């Protein structure tokens, strides 16, 4: 069944509803370059990056995508100047304060992955509020990766498993590890989108992306719009997913 196209993409090939990804992960890259190309401070690029996220969440919700995981701050991003980190944390607080009511009204539940206990307390408080506010929403999970690194997540999961109840000498299994990851209970991403033309995973969802299809967009994140989102989905629908089998 074709899905109705968004106005920004009326020329596109119709999407097939039953072949849409359940879970889309996005590396929102290129904010800094977008600003630098315009002679602006990098932080303006991040501000524009937040603005670009909103219509993508809206479109994902409209299409019936179940989970959208976005890489908002990595464990490696602490290496940036503190002035840039402060802006990013401030943007997160602003985003949650201004967008949570509308996200809630649209059926979006906010969740996080990553070690959020190490975020500034204002960010932690905003996140706790936004998660609580949206906790009963069921259309889309907007999963914010914050102080997230896949190696850190896997180590925390293994340590949690070790600390938990299991038999003496019992080996750790794939399913036990999955259940101890920050993404426990979520389907693995079917599609990974990275903007800004870079072909890298950057310590994002290393375990969960095992069989994800990858779409690299040449657009810098602030220019990533619903039309480009549709191009990624159209491209995804041409893929033959075999999961290591013969299809």
Under rule CB under 6 A, which residues in 118-157 are in contact with ligand FPP?
144
Among 57, 92, 113, 193, binds ligand FPP (CB under 6 A): 92
**Quick one: which of 101, 27, 113, 115 has its CA closest to 71?**
27
For residue 13, the minimal CB distance to ligand FPP (Å) is 28
Among 20, 29, 110, 209, binds ligand FPP (CB under 6 A): 29
**Residue of minimal Cβ distance to ligand FPP:** 32
DSSP letters spanning 172-228: P-HHHHHHHSTTTTSPPPSEEEE-TT----TTSSTTTTTT-EEEE-SS-GGG--HHH
For residue 246, the minimal CB distance to ligand FPP (Å) is 38
Check binding of 77 to ligand FPP (CB under 6 A). yes
**Quick one: which of 25, 33, 125 has its CA closest to 72?**
25
Check binding of 26 to ligand FPP (CB under 6 A). no
Which residue number, 15 or 215, has a Cβ lying nearer to ligand FPP? Answer: 215
For residue 118, the minimal CB distance to ligand FPP (Å) is 16
Return the range that interacts with ligand FPP (CB under 6 A); candidates 6-14, 30-38, 172-180, 229-237.
30-38
**Quick one: which of 169, 164, 197 has its CA closest to 180?**
164
Helix runs in the chain, H state only: 31-37, 42-63, 82-105, 121-133, 150-163, 174-180, 226-236
27 with 73: CB under 8 angstroms?
no
Among 20, 21, 26, 30, binds ligand FPP (CB under 6 A): 30
Check binding of 91 to ligand FPP (CB under 6 A). yes
Residues in CB range of 90: below 8 A, 6 or more apart? none
Mark 38-67 with x for binding to ligand FPP (rule: CB under 6 A) and - for no binding.
--------x--xx--x--------------
**Quick one: which of 14, 1, 103 has its CA closest to 60?**
103
Check binding of 28 to ligand FPP (CB under 6 A). yes
Return the range that interacts with ligand FPP (CB under 6 A); candidates 88-96, 159-167, 210-218, 223-231.
88-96
Distance, CA of 193 to CA of 214 (rounded, Å): 6
Check binding of 237 to ligand FPP (CB under 6 A). no
| Residue 238 three-state SS | coil
For residue 91, the minimal CB distance to ligand FPP (Å) is 5
Q: Which residues are catalytic, by number?
A: 29, 77
Residues in CB range of 185: below 8 A, 6 or more apart? 179
Place of tokens 């750790």: 172
Binding positions for ligand FPP, rule: CB under 6 A: 28-33, 46, 49-50, 53, 72, 77, 88, 91-92, 95, 144, 221
């Amino acid at each position: 069944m074709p899905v109705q196209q968004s106005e920004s993409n009326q020329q596109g090939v119709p999407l097939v509803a039953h072949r849409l990804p359940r879970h889309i992960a996005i590396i929102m890259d290129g904010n800094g370059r977008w600003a630098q190309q315009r002679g602006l401070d990098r932080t303006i690029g991040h501000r524009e990056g937040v603005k670009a996220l909103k219509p993508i969440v809206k479109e994902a919700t409209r299409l019936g995508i179940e989970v959208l995981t976005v890489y908002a701050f990595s464990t490696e991003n602490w290496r940036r100047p503190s002035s840039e980190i402060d802006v990013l944390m401030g943007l997160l607080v602003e985003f949650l304060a201004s967008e949570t009511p509308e996200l809630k009204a649209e059926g979006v539940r906010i969740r996080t992955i990553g070690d959020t206990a190490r975020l500034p307390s204002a960010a932690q408080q905003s996140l706790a509020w936004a998660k609580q506010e949206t906790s009963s929403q069921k259309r889309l999970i907007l999963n914010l990766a914050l102080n997230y690194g896949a190696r850190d997540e896997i180590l925390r999961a293994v340590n949690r498993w070790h600390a938990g109840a299991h038999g003496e000498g019992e080996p750790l299994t794939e399913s036990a590890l999955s259940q101890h990851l920050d993404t426990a209970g979520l389907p693995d991403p079917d599609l990974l989108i990275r903007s800004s033309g870079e072909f890298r995973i950057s310590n994002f969802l290393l375990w969960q992306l095992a069989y994800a299809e990858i779409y690299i967009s040449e657009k810098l994140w602030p220019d990533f719009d619903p039309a480009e989102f549709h191009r990624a989905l159209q491209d995804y629908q041409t893929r033959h997913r075999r999961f290591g089998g013969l299809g």
